[in-house]
Amino acid sequence: MRPVIDMRGIHRIFETEAGFAHVLHDIDFTVDPGEFVAITGPSGSGKSTLMNILGCLDTPTSGTYLLTGLDVAELTDDELAEVRATQIGFVFQSFNLLPRMTVLENVMLPLAYTDCPRAERERRAVRALYSVALAVDHYDHRVNELSGGQMQRVAIARALVNDPAIILADEPTGNLDSHTGAMVLETLHALRRAGKTIVLITHDPGVAAQADRTVTIRDGRLYHEDERHGTKTRRRGVTSPAEITQVLGRRPIADAPDPGAGRPEADPSARRPLFAVPSPMGHPHRKTAAVLGGGALS
């Protein structure tokens, strides 16, 4: 059986003013269809970076990533958007529903970026909402009229609506109390029983334990369950140019100190901080500090 996710030798190196931040080291990771896998690890371990690559929001500096057999590392920005629209369903910690829209419209939104006709979009959105057991009389409500647990179920419905190959849930219970968190996890379990493939990212070992299988990421390296206490040596977050060249040497990228040459997502300009926004996380300098100090990167 072909895995849904097949990652081999994934490295992710960010170029910052202070040098290079080597956030992911040689990650091998596979997920089979219908699996419910948890990725766990402390803050700053590289969980979010891995999730961004898994979700095709970012591309690896080197390594191969086959999503349902498709090599996504080779795709253009538009092709990646298409992959996200059709293959991936995101569930975020902070729900990320659009407050101006109704529940139904939020769930329909991913289909607006496909060529799905409007009537069909509505039909599929209703079906997705039905499968997360949200009461029908809420469909026309604005999302900010809902409780946290309801919002997260709407978000799960939105992740489901395009029938993706994989559902990526990034700390889905992080903003919820334990009771509603348990309800959301139960929704994920129900989806898993229905045959969906789910990757759950969490720093909470209790939540991670709910999955079929748990992998741990620490300092940018992935440890599988049986080697969680393995002997791989700790690595610093910042790597010397020589090390990077060695990593990049596996891929034919012309200019080694520029880890992202020729690839849209890794384009240094694309990684510039957001304009005029005082975002501590958006500033490359701070990010380096976070990487160095093992701060709140994830």
| Interface with another protein (CB under 8 A) | 48, 52, 55, 57-58, 77-78, 81-82, 84-86, 90, 92, 96, 98, 100-101, 109-110, 112-114, 118, 158, 162, 265, 270-271, 273-277, 279, 281-282
Please say which residue, 3 or 273, places its beta carbon nearer to another protein: 273
Give the nearer residue to another protein in terms of CB position, either 189 or 286.
286
Nearer to another protein, 129 or 214 (CB): 129
* Minimal distance, residue 61 CB to another protein, in Å: 14
Phi first, then psi, for residue 68 (nearest 5°) are: 45, 45
CB of 281 to another protein, least distance (A): 5
Tokens of 149: 């647990």
Minimum CB separation of residue 240 from another protein in Å reads 25
Taking the least distance from each CB to another protein, the nearer of 120 and 227 is 120
What distance in Å separates the CA atoms of residue 110 and residue 125, rounded to the nearest whole number? 10
* CA–CA separation, 143 and 272 (whole Å): 32
Residue among 198, 265, 220 at smallest CA distance from 57:
265
In angstroms, give the least distance from the CB of 88 to another protein. Answer: 8
Q: Give the chain's length.
A: 298
Output 142 or 189, the one with its CB closest to another protein.
142
The minimum distance between CB 262 and another protein, in angstroms, equals: 17
